Chains A and B, each alone.
Chain A
Amino acid sequence: MTVASPATAGTGTDASVPRPRGRGTAARAAGLAAACAALVAVAALSIAVGAKQVPLDQVWHGLFHYSGTDTDVVVRDLRLPRTLLGLLAGAALGLAGAVMQALTRNPLADPGILGVNAGASAAVVSAISFLGVTSVTDYVWFAFAGAAAVSAAVYVLGGSRGGATPVRLALAGTAATFALYGYVQAVQLLDTASLDKMRFWTVGSLAPATMPVVSQIWPFLVTGAVLALALARPLNAVALGDDHARALGTNLNRTRALAMAAVTLLCGAATAACGPIVFVGLMVPHLVRSLTGPDLRWMLPYAAVLAPVLFLGADVLGRVVARPGELQVGVVTALIGGPVFIQLVRRRRMAQL
């Protein structure tokens, strides 16, 4: 660790951050408004498109003048929860990723690196295999508890006298992740029935979304989002390095603890509801950073809006390409996001942390 600390890895050798283009406050606000418009459009599409096509006026009718026709039922009971969950989970993953990368100063950090996904997976596999839990509404609590417990443990283990440092956090999280996945695989190997259930949760899908699931998780997601957005300023200071942050009057320990709490709430709840989705939290911050520059006060709102655009868009596409079945959203995000991400990395020098 002496040589390759993430701090140096993040900055790399060519630290010349590209000149921001059109970065006036007005331009960025306009960009954010455009992103919001895109979000509304994608949400409407997500309600309209699927095995049964619903025209947009029927969507409006189903949402606001519910009269119990077949179309209304499809809109209200199937498409609406799915879309809401996509919005909430997408925003949560985007925010959590941006906070995590800022907190650890590591461009490779995604929420999963804190052991959130592994904790959720371990709890779900235990619940399925040992407690015989079968319904998704029950998974959610186990997954959330597992995610919270593991990320708290990682924070404690990653802490040192002066508080948790980025390298220690990343290492502790990775270690916990590997250990827990070992456990998950062991349980699945010894109990094939749990593998059968787990493999559909693991791939990441919005299909099982129902209103109860949405109403279970939204308080966590909203609390986490508010916390994350409120932390933009101190996290900006943390990005300059511990000494600078301290000199600027940031309370490092408190910032780190609160940021961890935000990430746990956001990512734990999202993972619980739709399975461990890796790519959104990892990719969206890079994408957003190339639009706004590294200022988190802009990055976080952008991430909260653009991540669900991407996430819901991928879900809609997954329903279209594999009709009458569907491709899970986790698969689609990765298969589309991957090439986009690689192209982005190739085309321009990424705005670095």
Chain B
Amino acid sequence: MNVLRIRGLSLRTSPRALFAGALTLLAALALGVALIATGDFPMAPAEVLNTLAGYGTPAQEFIVNELRLPRVLVALFTGVALGISGAVFQSVSRNPLGSPDILGLGNGAAAGALTVIVVFDGSAAAVSAGAIAGGLLTGFGVYALAWRRGVHGYRLVLVGIGAAAMLYAVIGYLLTKADLVDAARALIWLTGSLEGRDWEQFWPLLAVCAVLAPLALGQGRALRMLEMGDDAAYAMGVPVERTRLVALSAAVLLSAVAASAVGPVAFVALAAPQLARRLTRTTGPNLLPAACMGAALMTGADWASQQVFGAGRVPVGVLTAVLGGGYLLWLLVAERKAGRL
């Protein structure tokens, strides 16, 4: 832990955290480039960079700018959104399992989208809108129900799992009611897929991230205080309820938008903060490293999916679940050997 002092200002930095964060970001970007390079028309990474800088052939420009770049950007930004959202939820609920999925946001978005798919047989845009509506309704419903002269982390989590279980039942019911074609379409959506994502999905995602990510990141310090308990944080001058409201609203919106863009991708929001914390070895919500880690997980999973199964066969959600779960298991084994934890 170092402190950087410039005249009157001082900034506390942790070299390890900075290094780990930068490394993760680099990894995410490198995976993004690799992702652009793979496909039916393979390209060398150097060609990709060339084309991105504007020196490619027209064919390369079309493939990169119109087909692959938006997909990669969607992957990166949903990763960022999920990473931040997960970190905020884990911090506020003071529970390593307190991810947006467990609080019912993923299920809310899924129930919204499935209603559109199964009941109204809607278009892709309508499905996205349904997902956002479902996610937001669930998020604010859970917050409102958990409110009783302030939102206590424990109560929030319990209300959340109640809502999640109800929504899960709704999803299961809708799946049994659908005909098989709709059920298969719904399942792809439920898994989370990047297939066919283009600029249309990217711009709203970027707009939301641009506003909300800085807002959430700005709450990082206060959230870190909040982890010590409401009373301690209050005594140190943290506006407890306001911090929680702002951070949670941002997290709810971020996860809803991410879900509407690619579906409720499993595990990223849960694993990214955990992995980031283990890399940086600092306390607190680790928002920025978690965001970078989320982006790296999404692009890495999509790249691995295309490498292993070929393009368009297995959606990214399967890979995030398998890779994230596998990595966490490996981490547990490795840390046992090292005698930590």
A residues sitting closer than 8 Å to B (CB atoms) are 1-6, 8-9, 12-14, 106-108, 113, 157-161, 165, 167-168, 170-172, 174-183, 185-186, 188-190, 192, 195-196, 199-200, 202-204, 278-279, 282-283, 286, 327-328, 330-335, 337-339, 341-342, 345-346, 350, 352
Question: Is B77 part of the binding interface, using a Cβ–Cβ cutoff of 8 Å?
Answer: no
What residues of A have a CB within 8 angstroms of the CB of B165 in the complex?
278-279, 282-283, 334, 337-338, 341
* CB atoms of B161 and A282 under 8 A apart: yes
**Which residues of chain B from 308 to 328 have any CB-CB distance to chain A below 8 Å in the complex?**
313-315, 317-322, 324-326, 328
User: Could you write out 9 A-B pairs with CB less than 8 Å apart?
Assistant: A179-B325, A282-B165, A283-B165, A335-B166, A335-B169, A339-B162, A341-B162, A346-B155, A350-B155
Which segment of B87-95, B203-211, B290-298 sits at the interface? Answer: B87-95
Q: Mark B102-134, 1 if CB is under 8 A from A, else 0.
A: 100000000000000000000000000000000
What residues of A have a CB within 8 angstroms of the CB of B96 in the complex?
1, 4-6, 9, 167, 170-171
Question: Is B201 part of the binding interface, using a Cβ–Cβ cutoff of 8 Å?
Answer: no
* CB atoms of A12 and B162 under 8 A apart: no
* CB atoms of B283 and A2 under 8 A apart: yes
**Which residues of chain B from 129 to 179 have any CB-CB distance to chain A below 8 Å in the complex?**
145-146, 148, 152-155, 157-159, 161-163, 165-166, 168-170, 172-173, 175-176
Who on chain B is nearest to A179 by CB?
B325
What residues of B have a CB within 8 angstroms of the CB of A203 in the complex?
169, 172-173, 175-176
What residues of B have a CB within 8 angstroms of the CB of A161 in the complex?
336, 339
14 more A-B residue pairs beyond the given contacts A158-B332, A186-B314, with a C-beta to C-beta distance below 8 A: A4-B91, A9-B95, A113-B97, A167-B96, A172-B329, A174-B270, A175-B326, A179-B321, A181-B266, A279-B169, A286-B158, A331-B172, A338-B165, A342-B162
What residues of B have a CB within 8 angstroms of the CB of A170 in the complex?
96-97
Q: Name the contact of A179 in the complex, choosing from B97, B230, B326 (C-beta under 8 A).
A: B326
* CB atoms of B94 and A8 under 8 A apart: yes
Question: Is B303 part of the binding interface, using a Cβ–Cβ cutoff of 8 Å?
Answer: no
Given contacts A4-B95, A12-B152, contact A175 B166 (CB under 8 A): no
Who on chain B is nearest to A180 by CB?
B325
* CB atoms of B158 and A350 under 8 A apart: yes
Minimum Cβ distance to chain B for residue A274 (Å): 13
* CB atoms of A185 and B187 under 8 A apart: yes
Who on chain A is nearest to B301 by CB?
A182
Question: Is B231 part of the binding interface, using a Cβ–Cβ cutoff of 8 Å?
Answer: yes
Minimum Cβ distance to chain A for residue B74 (Å): 20
Who on chain A is nearest to B322 by CB?
A182
A172 to B274, CA, bound (A): 13
What residues of B have a CB within 8 angstroms of the CB of A279 in the complex?
165, 169
Minimum Cβ distance to chain A for residue B165 (Å): 4
Q: Which of A13, A188, A333 has the most CB of B within 10 A?
A: A13
What residues of A have a CB within 8 angstroms of the CB of B176 in the complex?
199-200, 203, 328
Q: Name the contact of A345 in the complex, choosing from B159, B229, B317, B333 (C-beta under 8 A).
A: B159
How extensive is the interface on chain B, given as a class? 35 or more
Given contacts A2-B277, A9-B154, contact A331 B325 (CB under 8 A): no
Minimum Cβ distance to chain A for residue B99 (Å): 9
- 4 tightest CB-CB pairs across the interface, nearest first? A179-B325, A182-B321, A334-B169, A338-B166
What residues of B have a CB within 8 angstroms of the CB of A334 in the complex?
165-166, 168-169
What residues of B have a CB within 8 angstroms of the CB of A108 in the complex?
95, 97-98, 102, 157, 161
Who on chain A is nearest to B313 by CB?
A190
* CB atoms of A9 and B94 under 8 A apart: yes
What residues of B have a CB within 8 angstroms of the CB of A182 in the complex?
266, 317-322, 325
A337 to B317, CA, bound (A): 29
A299 to B220, CA, bound (A): 40
A5 to B170, CA, bound (A): 31
Question: Is B52 part of the binding interface, using a Cβ–Cβ cutoff of 8 Å?
Answer: no
Minimum Cβ distance to chain B for residue A325 (Å): 11
What residues of A have a CB within 8 angstroms of the CB of B236 in the complex?
none
Given contacts A4-B96, A107-B154, A345-B155, contact A157 B333 (CB under 8 A): yes
What residues of B have a CB within 8 angstroms of the CB of A5 in the complex?
96
**Which residues of chain B from 220 to 241 have any CB-CB distance to chain A below 8 Å in the complex?**
227, 229-231
* CB atoms of B162 and A345 under 8 A apart: yes
Minimum Cβ distance to chain B for residue A177 (Å): 7
Who on chain A is nearest to B97 by CB?
A108
Question: Is B341 part of the binding interface, using a Cβ–Cβ cutoff of 8 Å?
Answer: yes
A12 to B325, CA, bound (A): 27
A9 to B97, CA, bound (A): 10
A183 to B325, CA, bound (A): 11
A181 to B168, CA, bound (A): 14
Who on chain B is nearest to A12 by CB?
B154
Question: Is B184 part of the binding interface, using a Cβ–Cβ cutoff of 8 Å?
Answer: yes
* CB atoms of A160 and B322 under 8 A apart: no
Given contacts A167-B96, A335-B166, contact A195 B184 (CB under 8 A): yes
Q: Which of B154, B175, B336 has the most CB of A within 10 A?
A: B154
Who on chain B is nearest to A350 by CB?
B158
A5 to B97, CA, bound (A): 10
Q: Name the contact of B183 in the complex, choosing from A157, A199, A204, A338 (C-beta under 8 A).
A: A199
Q: Mark B262-303, 1 if CB is under 8 A from A, else 0.
A: 000011001000100100000110000000000000000000
Question: Is B180 part of the binding interface, using a Cβ–Cβ cutoff of 8 Å?
Answer: yes
Who on chain B is nearest to A352 by CB?
B154
A202 to B148, CA, bound (A): 35
Question: Is B191 part of the binding interface, using a Cβ–Cβ cutoff of 8 Å?
Answer: yes
What residues of B have a CB within 8 angstroms of the CB of A158 in the complex?
332
* CB atoms of B175 and A157 under 8 A apart: no
